[in-house]
A and B are shown apart, each in its own frame.
Chain A
Amino acid sequence: MAELATDEILAARERYNQSIAIAVNKKRSLWFPYLVLALLLVLPALQLIGNFNYVIHLTLFTACYVVMASGWNILGGFTGYISLGHNVFFAIGGYFAGMIFARLDISTIIIAPLAGLVAAVIGYCIGLVTLRVRGPSFIISSLALVMIFRIVFENWEFIGGAAGLALPVNDLPVQWAKLPYYYAFIVMAAIAVWVSYKIKHSKFGLGLRAISKDEIKAESSGINTRLYKVLAFAVSAFFVGMAGAVWGEYLTYIRPNIFLIILISVNMVLMCVLGGKGTIAGPVIGAILIIAFNELFVATLGASEINVLATGLIMMLTLIFFPLGIVGTLAKHGKLPQFLNWD
């Protein structure tokens, strides 16, 4: 038996407790996202040398999902509340801005922040109610929410019911027609990523992550978990709502079965899960990969049923083999390339 020296044991106990705490990788690099942003801002110059409308469209589409997935990540990734109903805020943003655009002819790009705010306020109110339950209960309540909204939107004549509304088409030449939306989404995506970063490194973000780890402990250590959760919900609804606002005008119509289909929610969740929930780069990487996958499947196989199948399969495989997502898994094994570490 070992010698028993009291102070030594107390010191050893200290060391032992520390060794149990997991070390965090603090090295990150921020030049890469700035570089990407700069490249994206000059990308439309391609239109001068040929027709790159498809490239523009795909980039814009990806950026739209970066906004939504980054927004979702604030609630689902940081706070650990998985919402399968965030497309509700996509619809709220889309309809709010779309209706104003249709009636008052104010571009949705200008209305977008306001639409986001409306989504945030509604999100705040919904969060006050649904965030009282945790885990599976919360997930299921979010699904119920989508169903309720779908029925309401489809039966509300003022906003066009199930047929929806057509929105005016802008009168720019085809070559430049997409650009306003393109820049709107790129800027929103940059803001969403930047805000996620800021939140993650704030006291608020620390509180959210504490909630995700152990809500009861977080509460007993003096965090106002209720307020934090609901605020996280509102912020995430804000981004999703903003994306929805511009998306409607870009498509030139708003209809329940564009905004309120489950695939939209799934994509947000899947992008975060695949890229790495709770990381900053995760939703971005996830969005790029999933959009690329979708395009590939639609282009090669055509049928949307196969797309559903593939999406589900990717999600299952990711959950089973890389539950931490790409960024999380690489980081855990210390193999995350520095340019992907934006945390």
Chain B
Amino acid sequence: MSKLLEATGVVAGYGDGPAILNGADLSVHPGKVHCIIGPNGAGKSTLLKAIVGMLKVREGDVRYKGESLKGLRPDQILRKGICFVPQERALFPKMTVRENLRMGGYSITDDSYLNNRIGEIEEQFPILKERHSQHAGTLSGGQQQILSMARTMILKPEIVMLDEPSLGLAPKIVREVFEVMQIMAKEGITIILVEQNALMGLKYSDWGVVLDLGRSLFDGPAQEILEDPRIQELYLGGRKDKP
């Protein structure tokens, strides 16, 4: 299978601090939903941040469509078609919902095209249209998550990376969020999902990756991972003393 994005042997950390990732790998297949699982503090978020250029890749490489992303700034990587929705959702709470969508299309300089895209997204997610003049900070958690996901679609990106989109949401809302993710996947967007709730994440995914100790320990079709007894024991809650 050809690879859209490939990280190999990535070493990265925060500032001058110790390496959090020491040799993480990730292979991304076009059009698929990938789920990265692993315990808290394994470095999942760190890997995503390194890919989008928020952290320096100290060693190893990240290649996208054959070219290296190393050393590029986040805004340059975004223009290549990779969007990242961080764990904290990254909205502008004192800007309106529509202003937030507009910021999503910040890298589009053609105003009328941008307005069209905003219109299309608002059609697709009526709740955003309904709340367009409300401050983003006043939306519910689920709505904020939907806004931050929908916002990435304005750019028609190739890859969207979602860091724990279900964090802090009620189970019913989590399902809604995953449905939004499926809409994105149907439009042909390749998705990289990080999920604490590994069972749920893998169920919605095609491909799974286990990240622990700053390295990638395993990857394979989501179904296989779900059924692997060793992974069940370590990461899917099969073993009681799991940290």
Contact = CB atoms under 8 A, between A and B. Distances in A.
B217 A4 contact: yes
Interface stretch (B58-66, B114-122, B133-141, B227-235): B227-235
A9 B242 CA distance: 11
B213 A6 contact: no
Which secondary structure dominates chain A's binding surface? Answer: helix
Interface stretch (A13-21, A32-40, A142-150): A13-21
B239 A20 contact: no
B234 A4 contact: yes
B206 interface: no
Contacts of A12: 213
Interface residues of B, number: 16
B213 A1 contact: no
A13 B212 CA distance: 8
Contact of B243 (A1, A13, A19, A22): A13
B230 A22 contact: no
Contact of B18 (A1, A4, A9, A20): A20
Contacts of A24: none
B214 interface: yes
B231 A19 contact: no
A45 interface: no
Contact of A9 (B213, B214, B219): B213
Contacts, number: 30
B234 A1 contact: no
A2 B213 contact: no
A16 B214 contact: yes
A6 B18 contact: no
Contacts of A6: 230, 233-234, 239
Interface in A43-63: none
A2 B234 contact: no
B214 A1 contact: no
17 contacts: A1-B218, A1-B219, A4-B217, A4-B230, A4-B234, A6-B230, A6-B234, A6-B239, A9-B213, A9-B217, A9-B234, A12-B213, A13-B39, A13-B212, A13-B213, A16-B213, A19-B18
Given A4-B218, A16-B213, 19 more contacts: A1-B217, A1-B218, A1-B219, A2-B215, A2-B217, A2-B218, A4-B217, A4-B231, A4-B234, A6-B230, A6-B233, A9-B212, A9-B234, A12-B213, A13-B212, A13-B243, A19-B18, A20-B18, A20-B20
Q: Which 6 A-B pairs have the closest CB atoms?
A: A4-B230, A20-B18, A16-B213, A1-B218, A12-B213, A13-B213
